[in-house]
Structure 1
């Protein structure tokens, strides 16, 4: 457990952890509302990391949509920083795919619909998510989905510079080159996720970064494993340009 915790909340349990932070389930003491608290734990004293964390909170605050995990508050103190977010009562799409395997196009689109609406809301507010994948699609107990984790989101048109970030199996060709952030890269990742819902695997399976980059940039779009009626959708969504 980390030493610093957001005042006014009682920790319940750890939900997950990554390179730059952890996510805890907690309860708001005043109202009893369950929340998810994302703590920045990696390189606490690195101002660039703090700036990126603040930026995630700022971008989340701009998107008030029922299909995006809502921001409740951003808290920063000398000992840490945290984003307090809506807790989604459900599981990730990744967990669903592991438990149930591939599904039909109709079922996949029903599950993805909410998160895609959240993606559209982000784009309307000038935000590119840049990391749409099964782990970031949260499916509620009622079967609707929400978009989560804006940790590497950027404003539309923002220059990524020399930084190439994202999840390689879902990254559009332009994202590999550090091109300015555009909604098209989210559409590509969402289509790759749709492909995985249908087939049980991502569209490209390169064993290393160089191979994956080459496949996303030049390999044919693998429509054959998917049902024929959605081939056109896959070709459109994963177009190289």
Structure 2
């Protein structure tokens, strides 16, 4: 399922609104609503009461996608948009997929936000999006990435997520 198909199909106040699409020089351009607050990756530490409102919108948006059997697969702060009316909406469905029997197995998305089972090449489903939401919310709450991404080479980061980070992040949950 393409990003265009997903945007056309979706009708939720928590998903970026699709207006039209057109071709220019053999490239497709997609017109969506303008979110004048930009993406959440540019904001530093988000206060808890604001993060709560963001969480509600993101979870509602994902729940809507999941009801259509769509897995986002690239949940991260840069794919969460805000506007000055206080709305939060999900965007960027370029690597989203239609779930078949609630399972997916391809390796796409942003590595740093991937669930351990995705990195390990195992089957995954909705819970992989939930992991990405958790990492995203931790980043927004802490004002920084929840594990030392900059000190790792890409393969070391992936190994850290699979082996070490899962155990360390559990400490936050207990």
> Quick one: which of 174, 181, 185 aligns to 2:128?
185
Match of 1:110 in 2: 53
Contact between 1:169 and 1:205, CA under 8 Å: does it hold in 2?
no
Shift of 1:82: 1.9
Kindly provide the CA deviation profile for residues 131-162 of structure 1, in whole angstroms up to 9, marking residues without a partner as x.
Answer: 1111111111022211011111111146544x
Query: What is the alpha-carbon distance in structure 1 between the residues aligned to residue 116 and residue 99 of structure 2?
Result: 17
2:168 corresponds in structure 1 to 221
Q: CA RMSD in A?
A: 2.3
Q: What 5-or-longer segments of structure 2 have no aligned partner?
A: none
Residues in 2 aligned to 1:139 and 1:78: alpha-carbon distance in whole angstroms: 31
Which of 78, 93, 99 in structure 2 is aligned with 1:135? 78
Alignment of 1:1-241 (within 5 A): 55-76=2-23, 79-97=26-44, 102-157=45-100, 159-161=104-106, 164-180=107-123, 182-206=125-149, 207-219=152-164, 220-222=167-169, 231-232=172-173
Distance (whole Å) between structure 2 residues aligned to residue 174 and residue 84 of structure 1: 34
TM-score under structure 1 length normalisation:
0.62
Give 1 or 2 for the bigger CA radius of gyration: 1
The alignment of Structure 1 onto Structure 2 pairs a total of residues equal to 168
Structure 2 residue aligned with 1:34:
none
Q: Which has the higher helix share?
A: 2
* Separation in 2, partners of 1:191, 1:96: 17
Give the alignment's TM-score, normalised by structure 2. Answer: 0.84
The alignment partner of 1:222 has SS state of helix
Q: Is the contact between residue 113 and residue 144 of structure 1 (CA under 8 Å) also seen in structure 2? A: no
C-alpha separation between the residues in 2 aligned to 1:81 and 1:72? 13
| SS of residue paired to 1:221 | helix
Question: Which structure is richer in relative contact order (CA contacts within 8 A, separation 6 or more)?
Answer: 2
Higher strand share: 1
- Cα shift at 1:203: 2.3
Matched position secondary structure for 1:187: helix
Whole-angstrom distance in 2 between the partners of 1:222 and 1:55:
33
Relative to structure 1, the CA distance from residue 78 to residue 103 in structure 2 (aligned partners, 3 Å threshold; closer, same or farther) is: closer
Q: Distance in 2 between matches of 1:199 and 1:124?
A: 31
